[in-house]
Amino acid sequence: MLQTAADPALPDVLLTPFSVRRRRESKGIAVPAHVHEEGMLVLVHEGLIMVESGARVLTVLPGSLGWIPPGVQHGARWFGEARGSFLHVHPDVCGRLPPHCRAWPSSKLIEALIDRFTSGAWHDTPPAYQAQLFEVLLEELKQRNAEASVPLPMPADPRLQDLANTLLDTPDDTAGIDEWAQRLNMSSRTLMRRFRQETGVTLGQWRQQARLLRALEMLFRGGSVTQVALSVGYESTSAFIGSFRTAFGMSPTRYIAGRA
């Protein structure tokens, strides 16, 4: 629990806030599985982050705030342009946040607070005021109950992981199951069976969800519906809108407007 401003033993609430901006890399920017003693909040400005923690996969889209608790082993991969703001949260206050990885839709208040936390003047901010600002962030998160993560189960088999990461990196890839089976040196039937065993969905269903996730990332970046539809491998805008509406219950334009 955060201590009051009158308490001289007030702990730090944040450790090394920082921002990241990097060019895209083939198959995303990969971060191997690791654990850190502090918690981590990340506000994604551009790109799509896939955080894998055990069997759970967290997708953090632009305009979303992701959370990784302390002591949780996780790896991550960042697709598209990478731009985000990170906050390492002191273990003393991590109990105020969920015990599992999750993501919230951001808000203008959250974005303003994160910008303040990662600004150069943060280290000159009095500790009591730091705690007050962090308390505002926690209260804002309490009001945002919606889960911003879109499910996309990842396979454990290294060959299938390579396939999944390639499809996420190049969503307009037109290769079919037979071609992919040949690339992975297995039969088409074996590929389909193993992929479904490890993810719970067919390769075709998984690929469509991956395309829609990359489409969301591109739409948040300001791409038009037509441009995005072609960029993620759809042959027509109407087919893309139909798939999007089936998955999210509304058109791409309405979805992005609502999140904005």
| 103 SS3 class | strand
In a domain? residue 102: yes
What tokens does 66 get?
A: 């992701």
pTM: 0.78
Query: Residue 96 belongs to what domain range?
Result: 14-142
Whether residue 2 is contained in a domain is answered as no
CB 15 within 8 A of CB 38: yes
Are 97 and 30 in the same domain? yes
Give the residue from 108, 142, 176 where a domain finishes: 142
Do 197 and 84 sit in the same domain of this protein? Answer: no
Any domain includes 65: yes
151 is a domain residue: no
Strands (E), 7-68: 14-22, 29-34, 39-53, 56-60, 64-68
Structure tokens at 168: 């996420």
Give the dihedral of Cα atoms 150, 78, 257, 134; nearest 10 deg. 90
pLDDT tens sequence across 151-171: 888 898 999 999 998 999 899
Place of tokens 């946040």: 97
Q: Is residue 5 part of a domain?
A: no
Residue 96 lies in a domain: yes
* CATH code of the domain containing 109: 2.60.120.280
How many domains does the chain fold into? Answer: 2
- Tens of pLDDT, residue by residue over 51-95, are 988 778 888 988 899 999 999 999 998 888 788 999 999 998 899
Domain containing 208 — which CATH number? Answer: 1.10.10.60
Report the alpha-carbon angle 70-95-30, nearest 5: 25
**pLDDT tens digits for range 102-121:** 999 899 999 999 998 888 77
Q: Are residues 138 and 165 located together in one domain of the fold?
A: no
